[in-house]
Chain A
Amino acid sequence: MNTNMLTLARKSLLEPAGLGETELMRLIGQLMSGSVDYADLYFQYSRHESWSLEEGKVKSGSHSIEQGVGVRACAGEKTGFAYSDEIVLPALLEAAGAARAIVQQGAPARVPVAFRGEVGRQLYRPDDPLASLPDEAKVKLLERVEQEARAQDPRVKQVMASLASTHEVVLVVRSDGVIAGDVRPLVRLSVTVIVESNGRREQGSSGGGGRFTYDYFSHADQALSYAREAVRQALVNLDAVEAPAGTMPVVLGPGWPGILLHEAIGHGLEGDFNRKGTSAFAGKLGQRVASEQCTVVDDGTIPDRRGSLNVDDEGTTTQKTVLIENGILKGYMQDTLNARLMGVAPTGNGRRESYAHLPMPRMTNTYMLAGKYDPGEIIASVERGLYAVNFGGGQVDITSGKFVFSASEAYLIENGKITRPVKGATLIGNGPDVLTRVSMVGNDLQLDPGVGTCGKEGQSVPVGVGQPTLKIDSLTVGGTQG
């Protein structure tokens, strides 16, 4: 894989618009006047498609194209922002004029003498997933998923499946002379089933994806395994009894339950909230925020992962950032603005939903490293508690630190054994101290299958999470059986 992402991005974003270094210099010059100390341009072109199946038929499909340029000027803590959905010089000059209007006119422009390309990583191939499979085969794939789900059990009443992909090309031009590009494929397959038995209905969902082409779903029956997993979950829930209510030991399974880390500590460690002092973690650097067994990282550099990027949306090469090491808070996730204002280095976490949105510090793939315990041993250590293995969404109030995440598949643990399945329930805790109550960390680290989307201030970005099996000595479980 030696394709130069920047070359590809220049070719598809700048050349058709007739934009060369001279024009880019002129735009940066337009932005860098007065007290503006940083400016950037974010070019984006993306194509998206989705196909969806219900009642055994692929009834609909859609295709969309989005393109534009976001123009930003920063002066201290001030940011001016405008964008254009036309990639042509006059529109960009107008946007630049609007963006830099946050500051007084004045001092002459300081522009870089030359641009230098940020090399970035090579974590995925710059393939176009939309073109990776004939349309007919996309339809067939969904139909096979449906048939596989139905073949599992006669109680399967409804199968809904969807296949989606995005091909995105981005290019960042910065006032410090950095120019960077990335070509980002992203695919996802999701399946939801509804089962019915004796008048009771339950659902189960599964899916996966990442930064590659549709080929991934054909390898080793990947797509069909999602169908089987969704049915398995739904059938488990048919037997679920009311969930317990109250505080008890909770064992979380490996992989996707890492949403715990995303909500409980991840958002609270984003640079913007800590610079402003609005996070419950503000000022806690160097302090103990987790048990000694916990080491948590945010890693944008894992090949092919949904949350990975070769460069972030500000052109900074991504990295693996240690957030918590053996229980001690080590670092925050930063974009360029917050890193500059806090006097630290950016960590490659500057992300944005699109050219029409401002970048912010955001997570990439956030996970806890493996510990020493066998998962069976962890469950055996619990007299009475909850074992939760699948989750829906989660949310956090970063200021009070309170977070929730909702189980969609959970079981009671009684006398060290997994017994009955219980209905989904929301788990609630306090971010700055929940990890101090992690008493056992398993040796079975897993990353999620590639389905996570994170929302912050109205912007959605794809992310990943992961963790080994772990035990929290006490956490509040929001069931109905007191």
Chain B
Amino acid sequence: MSALVTSPVVADKEARARLSAVVEYVLAEARKSGASAAEAGVNTSQGLSLTVRLGEIETVEHTRDKGMGVTVYFGQRTASASTTDFSEQALRETVRAACTIARYTAEDDCAGLADPERLAKNIPDLDLHHPWNPGTERAIELARAAESAARGLDKRITNSEGGSLSTHEGLEVYGNTHGFLGAVAATRHSLSVSVIAQDDSGMQRDYWYTVARAAAGLESPEKVGLEAARRSLRRLGSRKLSTRDCPVLYEAPLASSLLSHLVSAVRGSSLYRQASFLLDSIGKPVFADFVRIHEQPHLKGAQGSAAFDSEGVVTKPRDLIRDGILQGYVLDSYSARKLKMATTGNAGGVHNLTIEPGKDDLAALLKRMHTGLLVTELIGFGVNMVTGDYSRGAAGFWVENGEIQYPVEEITIAGNLKDMFRHVAAVGSDVDTRGNIRSGSILIESMTVAGS
């Protein structure tokens, strides 16, 4: 097999210059077309993504993408357009498309670029860019090793969805007519395995993955494979539970979903539309008293790190929840103006939102829960952000005397997020740092479990 090599580095100096030139060109075109202000983002990326299934290569995908998006302002009227074609003609037509739309949109007092004084001045290196070119052969070896570790653990691992390796490098340049121009180069590498365990009770599938900015930060293929197999095996023989109220422990990889619901509820766009169950909650207790939730945008090498947000506004570490009390919202410039507040540097989202870990690991949390449900999988989208009503499909384990008794499935867990947040009983030390939201396992005092 010929080794296939992705072209060297997309995010070199020359690429930065080229993308910056595209941004400058687009902004100049917007000015020429009469726009009073404009902003543009340009990105380019490449990657390799492959899957080995049952020891054989299944898919090899080479990705290479680029795009340009522009937003124009004519006074208080605005519109956007995007294209994947970087020819001058296509860029000009894209700017023109945005300008055409802006003729018909309404005046909006709050529309506009971020305020100049809030734009990032210095852009620190957050250690996000570590290109890795394993070559197809080596990438296949790693994916195969991970899948093979999973398949070798137990003869009840009878089938597989494969081991996958993916490596991705991207460069983004954002600029606006306040004179801001910032570039971010970042890489993301991941290795995952999904296998199927089977016995007389039926089939169960689970998976595990590792992700890092630098290849050296990945867990070993063996570790990933074994964890995937262990997770599939432990689900065999799942039963239903009868309907009851009981404590619910969200395993760390799922606990971040609770924090993502918090973010949705305190996001500016939900607030000014009154589409949130946490309206007017600043200064009020939202979580249990001991809970601290904070943003760490400048963590080196983390998945959610950013020196500036998608409007160029400088990001800052801050507490969102302190002693259970809501300290602020998640705002971009537009929603901040709507709420007569200041942007929090969250255009595009939060940055490494972290719930302060407690002292208990998962085993200690199970002891603390004593009797209840450990949830390891959630399915469905049963969350109403206007009311906080929560009802989702779940699978996991029934726990008695602090010990796992048996796996359970085909149940739902329900409550209201307002109550669930206020009744967080503990946060684990087992923090999952693979995503933009970092959380240990979270124990909720009581929810309704519906089953047979």
Contacts and interface: CB of A to CB of B under 8 A. Distances in A.
Asked if A and B are interacting partners, one says yes
Interface of A: 49, 51, 54, 57-68, 77-86, 95, 98-99, 101-105, 135-136, 138-139, 157-158, 160, 194, 196, 201-203, 243, 245-247, 276-278, 280, 356, 358, 392-397, 399-400, 402-406, 423-426, 428-430, 476-482
A62 B80 contact: yes
Instruction: Name A's interface SS.
Output: strand
Contacts of B94: 63, 65
B273 interface: yes
A432 B450 CA distance: 20
Closest 6 CB pairs of A and B: A478-B412, A404-B380, A404-B393, A57-B106, A399-B205, A245-B450
A95 B65 CA distance: 13
A393 B393 CA distance: 12
A136 B205 CA distance: 52
Contacts of B409: 400, 402
Interface in B73-132: 78-85, 90, 94, 97-98, 100-108, 111
Contacts of A57: 105-108
B415 interface: yes
B274 A194 contact: yes
B387 A77 contact: no
B78 A60 contact: yes
Contacts of A59: 78, 105-106, 108, 111
Contacts of A138: 104
B100 A135 contact: yes
B202 A64 contact: no
29 contacts: A57-B105, A63-B80, A63-B82, A63-B98, A64-B69, A77-B56, A78-B58, A83-B64, A95-B62, A101-B4, A102-B1, A135-B100, A243-B414, A245-B450, A246-B451, A278-B205, A280-B203, A356-B65, A393-B381, A395-B381, A399-B196, A425-B391, A426-B392, A429-B410, A476-B411, A477-B412, A479-B450, A480-B448, A481-B448
Interface string B48-78: 0000010011111111111001000000001
Given A61-B80, A158-B274, A243 B104 contact: no
A400 B56 contact: no
A18 to B, nearest CB: 16
B238 interface: yes
Contacts of B177: none
Among B59, B79, B202, find the residue whose CB has the most chain A CB atoms closer than 10 A: B59
B410 A428 contact: yes
A203 B275 CA distance: 8
A58 B105 CA distance: 5
Contact of A404 (B57, B63, B392): B392
Contacts, number: 259
Contact of A246 (B102, B104, B243): B243
B412 A85 contact: no
A66 B69 CA distance: 12
A105 B274 CA distance: 61
Given A245-B414, A480-B415, A406 B380 contact: yes
A397 B205 contact: yes
A423 B101 contact: no
A85 B65 contact: yes
Contacts of B203: 278, 280, 399-400
Contacts of B450: 245-247, 428, 476-479, 482
Contact of A423 (B66, B103, B387): B387
Contact of B238 (A83, A104, A105, A400): A400
B244 interface: yes
Nearest to B379: A395
A66 B84 contact: yes
B80 A139 contact: no
Given A246-B451, A278-B196, 16 more contacts: A57-B106, A59-B78, A61-B101, A78-B59, A78-B60, A101-B2, A104-B1, A105-B2, A194-B274, A246-B450, A278-B161, A397-B395, A400-B202, A476-B410, A478-B393, A479-B414
A470 B217 CA distance: 52
Contact of A245 (B58, B108, B235, B448): B448
A478 B391 contact: yes
A141 B426 CA distance: 51
B380 A395 contact: yes
A59 B83 CA distance: 21
A64 B413 contact: no
A379 B276 CA distance: 35
A59 B273 CA distance: 14
A406 B383 CA distance: 9
A428 B56 contact: no
Contacts of A160: 273
Contacts of A104: 1
A201 B414 CA distance: 19
Interface string B1-44: 11010000000000000000000000000000000000000000
